[in-house]
């Protein structure tokens, strides 16, 4: 989320461009779910710019924003991490994956049955979704997304998990105060971290040279 329609649109285009660069640089099909994450985040910001321009409400842009933010990311992140994780980390990553699938199922059902409403609150957008046991769902969502990154067994993804944790806490505090929404800035930083990760993955090791005397 950003603090205005223009900020969301500009940030979304920039983050999506980084996402396109990540996808273009990847050499392994198994990496695609993970490297496509900045592209999804960029599209998400662009969708919210439409929520701003429509004045909130319950329109298609609001529904699309909620569908990406809630059930999609709850499954996409742990699946993407699982695809790129080293073998010794895959067993423990089943925990955030199961949590993500269960959380996404409940969130999808509630969005389908109760819908979602967006409200412009100064420099922030508030989204209202009717959820049963919200504390449990939030815990499951955080375990699926942030937990997967922290348990990935990959140094850069672990750093990304820490950044997301700090960013989410900061943005939540500012959003609760209805001061300003700053998630787009953290999303941009996270996207650059992902690009660095992709560059590291795309560097092929140099084959050793063999010298033959003759």
Print pLDDT tens along the chain (214 aa): 677 899 999 999 999 999 999 999 998 999 999 999 999 999 999 999 999 999 999 999 999 999 999 999 999 999 999 999 999 999 999 999 999 999 999 999 999 999 999 999 888 888 999 989 999 999 999 999 999 999 999 999 999 999 888 887 877 766 555 545 566 777 888 899 999 999 988 764 444 444 444 3
This prediction has a pTM of 0.88
Do residues 65 and 44 make contact, with C-beta atoms less than 8 angstroms apart?
yes
Taking alpha carbons only, the member of 73, 4, 83, 88 closest to residue 45 is 4
3 state SS of 112: helix
Residue 209: helix, strand or coil by DSSP? Answer: coil
HSE, side-chain direction, 13 A CA sphere, residue 195? 17
Q: Which residues contact 182 (CB under 8 A, 6 or more apart)?
A: 2, 3, 170, 171, 174
In the three-class reduction of DSSP (H, G, I as helix; E, B as strand; rest coil), residue 125 is classed as: strand
Domains of the chain in start order, with CATH, are 5-202 (1.20.1070)
From residue 185, give the alpha-carbon distance in Å to each of 6, 47, 72, 164, 182: 14, 16, 21, 11, 6
């Amino acid at each position: 989320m950003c603090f205005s329609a223009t900020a969301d649109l500009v940030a979304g285009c920039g983050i999506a461009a980084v996402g396109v660069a990540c996808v273009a640089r990847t050499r392994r099909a198994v990496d695609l779910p993970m490297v496509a994450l900045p592209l999804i985040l960029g599209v998400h910001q662009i969708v919210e710019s439409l929520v701003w321009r429509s004045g909130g409400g319950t329109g298609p842009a609001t529904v699309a924003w909620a569908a990406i933010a809630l059930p999609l990311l709850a499954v996409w992140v742990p699946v993407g991490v699982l695809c790129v994780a080293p073998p010794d980390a895959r067993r423990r990553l089943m925990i955030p994956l199961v949590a993500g699938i269960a959380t996404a199922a409940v969130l999808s059902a509630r969005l389908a049955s109760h819908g979602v409403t967006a409200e412009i609150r100064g420099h922030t957008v508030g989204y209202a979704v009717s959820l049963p046991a919200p504390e449990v769902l939030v815990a499951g969502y955080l375990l699926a997304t942030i937990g997967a990154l922290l348990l990935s067994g990959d140094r850069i993804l672990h750093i990304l998990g820490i950044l997301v944790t700090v960013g989410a806490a900061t943005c939540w505090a500012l959003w609760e105060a209805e001061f300003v929404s700053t998630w787009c800035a953290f999303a941009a930083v996270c996207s650059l971290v992902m690009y660095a990760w992709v560059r590291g993955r795309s560097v092929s090791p140099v084959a050793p040279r063999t010298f033959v005397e003759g």
